[in-house]
A and B are shown apart, each in its own frame.
Chain A
Amino acid sequence: MILIGERINGMFKDIREAIQNKDPEPVRYWAKRQQEQCAAYLDINTGPTVEKEDQPAVMEWLVKTAQEVSTLPCCIDSTNPDAIEAGLKVHRGKAMINSTTADQWKMDIYIPMAAKYNAAIIGLAMNEKGVPKSAADRIALAMEIVVNCDMHGVPMEDLYIDPLMLPCNVAQEHGVEVLETLRMIKTLADPAPRTTMGLSNASQRCTNRHLINRTFLIMSMACGLDSAIADVDDDALLDAVAAANILLNKDIYCDSFLKTFRSR
């Protein structure tokens, strides 16, 4: 399970204030903390309060600040292509672009960008019409993204398809469709594309958020989820992933399996 730490995002108050005050400390703290907590990537998002014309500069600052204290690559997260490219330009190592949808005009921007910067890319199984209701409709859009990546020479191990989980309190019927989509994505190509998910979406405005996230992550892993953007500060989540890695025969069992999961 490739964990992408969600915490460096202007949606969170401490990061929003850090951006406003040019204070690197909160960014540094979460870069280090999330690396300790088994993150493989740091998601970096300026948040909605930064003006569009300021987003590239803020993204650049966030990426640089995070990589000053952490060896992790970043998952550069924005709806603004200029902000993404600004992040990619200063990024050290192999970045991940977050994200394109299955709209042709967006794929035409982001997929060549992934090829140019040798970055991985997240493809959302949705388009301007919104998030499809059924697994079959999600898969049709996922296939569009697979074909476009193939056309630009982006290998399948660099494509992470997100079947899009919606909050379970308002869109309860989507859970089973997402699980079915995950299974089907693995049949789209050989080698198969990878999969990811914005996990915390599952529990927006719900109670017992950690429990919901953790349960859905494990259910999704059983269906082929390779990666998730998640709250890695949640120890119970990490322990559950460690156990799931054993049960799915991904890690070899030993009595210290919780510890070995964290020490790699």
Chain B
Amino acid sequence: MAVTIAKEKWTSKVGEMVLGADSSVKVGGESTLPYLHFEGEIPNKPVLALEVWDLEPADWPEILKKPFNDVLADPVAWAKKNVEYGADAIALRLMSAHPDFKDASPEDCAATAKAVAEAVNVPLIVIGCGVEEKDAEVLEKVGEALSGKNCLIGCATEKNYKTITATAMVNGHSVIASSPLDINLAKQLNILMTEMNLPANRIAIDPLVGALGYGIEYAYSIMERARLGALMGDKMLAMPVICFVGQEAWKAKEAKSPDEESPEWGAQERRAILWEVITTTTFAQAGGSIFVLRHPETVKQVKVHIDKMMESNAY
């Protein structure tokens, strides 16, 4: 008797988000679990973005600053350098807006964002400084300045989503919706934003992932559950997922500890990059669509991995 291969039949799929002034980059759209090409479509590769800061990052280890040594004070040059390094997108972090740093005005931030957007031809992700009220003010101006550039802006939270959603709708951007490792809150935030008439495919879920060794499995299971929900028809979880891997991986002591402090762990540079790479590939396997990274070597290594994963295993 012939063996019938059991394949899962899903009824729905992840929404597809389009990014970039020329709408050249697509994310999401999967109709199966990650990389199971034999069960459904994986139409788009994950997008690898490299971070640019609008002020020189004080707490980055030397080995992370090294690839950007000549551009750390110039966001435009830094962004161009990231493109040379092979980044699919630029993630501009407006850290200067933070009250503890320069407390830069929304107008100044918008000017920086505009300059960066005009200097590169890849999609732009713009992230605030993490202070919710300030980010609402900053992103309102940034959204205006980048009107028509089809950017991804955030992060919107329960507290500031209204302003950010409104500016995204008026100026044609997509929004990152952040919720602290809680699938129920993530779903609710997506509902609140779509109730303002933002199309569901203009939201990216940020589950606030942790790095390898720092709760990676918890984030993994939440992403997996969200994907299962999406495939079973839950439209309010059917958004591409964005993972801020760089900020988490480079916070890990395994990445920060210098050679002389923990010689038994091996050379810091290799170890730190591996930490970022493994965290990324793990979340790619959980269904992540956009990865915000810090080290160019990570981009290089993850690309090799993803190219392999994108080879069809259909039968």
Per-position contact with A for B148-174: 1 when CB-CB < 8 Å, else 0?
000000000000000000000000000
Complex Cα distance A253/B125, Å?
30
Task: For the complex formed, measure the closest distance between the CB of B1 and the CB atoms of chain A, giving whole angstroms.
Answer: 12
Complex Cα distance A86/B226, Å?
42
Within residues 189 to 247 of chain B, which ones have a CB less than 8 A from any CB in chain A? 191, 225-226, 229, 233-237
17 additional A-B residue pairs with CB within 8 Å, beyond A255-B188, A260-B187: A157-B9, A251-B229, A252-B183, A252-B184, A252-B225, A252-B226, A252-B229, A252-B234, A254-B185, A254-B187, A254-B188, A256-B188, A256-B191, A259-B191, A260-B236, A263-B235, A264-B233
Name which of B6, B185, B188, B225 has the most chain A CB atoms within 10 A of its CB: B188
Give the total of B residues in contact with A, Cβ under 8 Å.
16
- Identify A251's interface contact among B6, B185, B234, CB under 8 A: B234
Chain A residues contacting B183 (CB-CB under 8 Å) are 252
B187 touches A264 (CB 8 A): no
Complex Cα distance A256/B190, Å?
11
Complex Cα distance A252/B182, Å?
11
Chain B residues contacting A259 (CB-CB under 8 Å) are 191
Task: For the complex formed, measure the closest distance between the CB of A264 and the CB atoms of chain B, giving whole angstroms.
Answer: 6
Find the B residue at minimum CB distance from A253.
B184
Complex Cα distance A251/B226, Å?
11
Chain B residues contacting A254 (CB-CB under 8 Å) are 184-185, 187-188, 191, 236
Within residues 221 to 264 of chain A, which ones have a CB less than 8 A from any CB in chain B? 251-256, 259-260, 263-264
Chain A residues contacting B9 (CB-CB under 8 Å) are 157
Per-position contact with B for A183-207: 1 when CB-CB < 8 Å, else 0?
0000000010000000000000000
Chain A residues contacting B226 (CB-CB under 8 Å) are 252
Chain A residues contacting B188 (CB-CB under 8 Å) are 254-256
Find the A residue at minimum CB distance from B183.
A252
Task: For the complex formed, measure the closest distance between the CB of B192 and the CB atoms of chain A, giving whole angstroms.
Answer: 8
Task: For the complex formed, measure the closest distance between the CB of A15 and the CB atoms of chain B, giving whole angstroms.
Answer: 30
Within residues 14 to 72 of chain A, which ones have a CB less than 8 A from any CB in chain B? none
Task: For the complex formed, measure the closest distance between the CB of B224 and the CB atoms of chain A, giving whole angstroms.
Answer: 12
Find the A residue at minimum CB distance from B6.
A191
A252 touches B191 (CB 8 A): no
Chain B residues contacting A191 (CB-CB under 8 Å) are 6
B191 touches A260 (CB 8 A): yes
Per-position contact with A for B1-44: 1 when CB-CB < 8 Å, else 0?
00000100100000000000000000000000000000000000
Complex Cα distance A256/B183, Å?
13
| 21 A-B pairs in the complex with CB atoms less than 8 angstroms apart | A157-B9, A191-B6, A251-B229, A252-B187, A252-B229, A252-B234, A252-B237, A254-B185, A254-B188, A254-B191, A254-B236, A255-B184, A255-B188, A256-B188, A259-B191, A260-B187, A260-B191, A260-B234, A264-B233, A264-B234, A264-B235
Chain B residues contacting A252 (CB-CB under 8 Å) are 183-184, 187, 225-226, 229, 234, 237
Task: For the complex formed, measure the closest distance between the CB of A170 and the CB atoms of chain B, giving whole angstroms.
Answer: 39
Complex Cα distance A191/B5, Å?
12
Task: For the complex formed, measure the closest distance between the CB of A190 and the CB atoms of chain B, giving whole angstroms.
Answer: 9
Task: For the complex formed, measure the closest distance between the CB of A250 and the CB atoms of chain B, giving whole angstroms.
Answer: 8
Chain A residues contacting B229 (CB-CB under 8 Å) are 251-252
Complex Cα distance A264/B184, Å?
17
Chain B residues contacting A256 (CB-CB under 8 Å) are 188, 191
Chain B residues contacting A255 (CB-CB under 8 Å) are 184, 188
Complex Cα distance A141/B156, Å?
56
Chain A residues contacting B235 (CB-CB under 8 Å) are 263-264
Find the B residue at minimum CB distance from A157.
B9
Complex Cα distance A157/B184, Å?
29
Chain A residues contacting B6 (CB-CB under 8 Å) are 191
Which 6 pairs of residues, A with B, have the shortest CB-CB distance?
A254-B187, A254-B188, A253-B184, A256-B191, A252-B229, A255-B188
Complex Cα distance A125/B236, Å?
38
Complex Cα distance A255/B183, Å?
12
Complex Cα distance A255/B229, Å?
16
Task: For the complex formed, measure the closest distance between the CB of A132 and the CB atoms of chain B, giving whole angstroms.
Answer: 31
Find the B residue at minimum CB distance from A191.
B6
Complex Cα distance A235/B169, Å?
34
Chain A residues contacting B236 (CB-CB under 8 Å) are 254, 260
Find the B residue at minimum CB distance from A190.
B6
Task: For the complex formed, measure the closest distance between the CB of B291 and the CB atoms of chain A, giving whole angstroms.
Answer: 24
Chain B residues contacting A263 (CB-CB under 8 Å) are 235
Complex Cα distance A85/B24, Å?
49
Chain A residues contacting B185 (CB-CB under 8 Å) are 254
Chain B residues contacting A264 (CB-CB under 8 Å) are 233-235
Complex Cα distance A251/B237, Å?
11
Task: For the complex formed, measure the closest distance between the CB of A246 and the CB atoms of chain B, giving whole angstroms.
Answer: 10
Chain B residues contacting A157 (CB-CB under 8 Å) are 9
Find the A residue at minimum CB distance from B189.
A254
Complex Cα distance A260/B188, Å?
10
Task: For the complex formed, measure the closest distance between the CB of B12 and the CB atoms of chain A, giving whole angstroms.
Answer: 9
Complex Cα distance A159/B89, Å?
48
Find the B residue at minimum CB distance from A250.
B232
